[in-house]
A and B are shown apart, each in its own frame.
Chain A
Amino acid sequence: MTEEFEPRIVAFLCNWCSYAGADSAGVARIPSPPNILPVRVMCSGRVSPEMVLRAFRAGADGVLVLGCHIGDCHYDSGNHRTAKRMPVLRRLLGYIGIEPERLRLDWVSAAEGGKFAQVTAEFTETVRELGPARQVMEL
């Protein structure tokens, strides 16, 4: 009997907004999927394309990058970097035949516990449908 596929998702959460947003979800007792492995970074702008690829290499089936909304960055414009590079990386993954949907960028503020739960749940289901990343990547 084959075991049911449970996606493993690495979520890079910015310290100031999205990590606190995840906390808000917990405090408010809003359930979020257990598939999420949070990695706290000081800013979503710290998340280089190399880090995303490193997460895939480490066995992630999907990578989620969450940061402060544009205009709310603790470092003023750190998330502008993220806003620019992640869409490019998504297209690049698509060109070489990896589903761009395995990478998602979204903005979650410290108060948006509900949004954190919603985005993580949505993304988990998206990745579940895509199946294991092992099918496409050599890990």
Chain B
Amino acid sequence: MIKELRRVVGELLDELDGVVALRESSEGVAPHLFRSGDDLTEMVLAPKYPMASVVDLLQNADPSVQLGVVARGCDERALIEMAKRQQVNLDNLKIIGIACSAEEAEECRCATPYPQNLLVGEKVKGVEDRLIAEHEALTRQERLEFWKRQFAKCLKCYGCRNVCPECFCEECVLEDELWAQTGVLPPPFPSFHVIRAMHTVGKCVGCGECELTCPADIPLTILYSLLRRDAKELFGYETGASIEDQPPLLVTLDQVPIRG
């Protein structure tokens, strides 16, 4: 699969300014901008890495740059949601979709482990998130105790926010004393995490980076996945599915965009 990817990227580099992909070097694996003539044997597929934010950075530095990006299903969905909020420009971007393996899908408990623009690899079936079913089986009192215990572990490192491809506000309410108590550890239940969860509605693409990043192993994706299901149930909105669908909290009940 990596050979096929290198071939595809090699061909695309003739027409693009560069392709963002993972590179393995003596320092480890990191995103890298491959350019025409570069040694593509350094390109690797794993581990999963949030690529959408890298595209954001590069396009900010040069809005006219013609980029390609090697994207998994979640990267592609993240790019779509970012584009709706003017964070990336899909017109200047070639998405080189790769499919995740069955093991990777299992590890991420991912329902859609493949992108729409699939160029390399074979689709595998999505996985039902067993943690959701487990959570649903809890009583209200058990849920309360569960989340109190989980949130009590929070170090307020802001890692979940920092790694999130859909968190790009220049001023974050979670740093504002008015809304989330600053300078208190752990953050008092439940403001901090409820505010963050609310802000994922219609945005969270289920990449799971928040949970991977969390040094306290808080299973944040349970909440965000439930909210993703709600967005579908309440508004018929599927995050990252289509550039055409309007984010539910940014339009009126009549689907007219809300300004400001």
Interface residues of A (CB under 8 A from B): 49-50, 53-54, 56-57, 70, 77, 80-81, 83-85, 87-89, 91-99, 136-139
Asked if residues A97 and B252 are in contact (CB atoms below 8 Å), the reply is: no
Asked if residues A49 and B248 are in contact (CB atoms below 8 Å), the reply is: no
Asked if residues B191 and A57 are in contact (CB atoms below 8 Å), the reply is: yes
Please judge, given known A-B contacts A84-B235, A84-B248, whether A97 and B198 are in contact too, CB under 8 Å.
no
Contact of B227 among A50, A92, A137 (CB under 8 A): A92
Majority-rule SS of B interface residues: helix
Least Cβ–Cβ distance between A70 and chain B, in angstroms: 7
Kindly state whether residue B195 has any CB partner on chain A within 8 Å: yes
Contact of A98 among B144, B231, B258 (CB under 8 A): B144
Bound-complex Cα distance A15 to B258 (A): 20
* Inter-chain contacts of B144 with A (CB < 8 A): 96-98, 136
Asked if residues A89 and B198 are in contact (CB atoms below 8 Å), the reply is: yes
* Inter-chain contacts of B195 with A (CB < 8 A): 49-50, 53
* Inter-chain contacts of A88 with B (CB < 8 A): 198, 201, 227, 230-231, 234, 249
* Inter-chain contacts of B130 with A (CB < 8 A): none
Please judge, given known A-B contacts A54-B179, A84-B248, A137-B189, whether A95 and B141 are in contact too, CB under 8 Å.
no
Bound-complex Cα distance A91 to B181 (A): 23
Least Cβ–Cβ distance between A52 and chain B, in angstroms: 9
* Inter-chain contacts of B230 with A (CB < 8 A): 88, 91
Least Cβ–Cβ distance between B237 and chain A, in angstroms: 10
Contact with A along B191-211 (1 / 0, CB 8 A): 101110110010000000000
Please judge, given known A-B contacts A49-B198, A50-B173, A53-B190, whether A96 and B223 are in contact too, CB under 8 Å.
yes
* Inter-chain contacts of B140 with A (CB < 8 A): 94, 97, 99
Please judge, given known A-B contacts A53-B179, A88-B234, whether A139 and B227 are in contact too, CB under 8 Å.
no
* Inter-chain contacts of A97 with B (CB < 8 A): 140-148
Least Cβ–Cβ distance between A71 and chain B, in angstroms: 10
* Inter-chain contacts of A77 with B (CB < 8 A): 252-254, 256, 258
* Inter-chain contacts of A57 with B (CB < 8 A): 181, 188, 191
Please judge, given known A-B contacts A77-B258, A97-B143, A139-B188, whether A92 and B249 are in contact too, CB under 8 Å.
no
Kindly state whether residue B178 has any CB partner on chain A within 8 Å: yes
Bound-complex Cα distance A136 to B181 (A): 18
Task: Determine which residue in A54, A97, A137 has the highest number of CB atoms from chain B within 10 A of its CB, and name it.
Answer: A97
Least Cβ–Cβ distance between B202 and chain A, in angstroms: 9
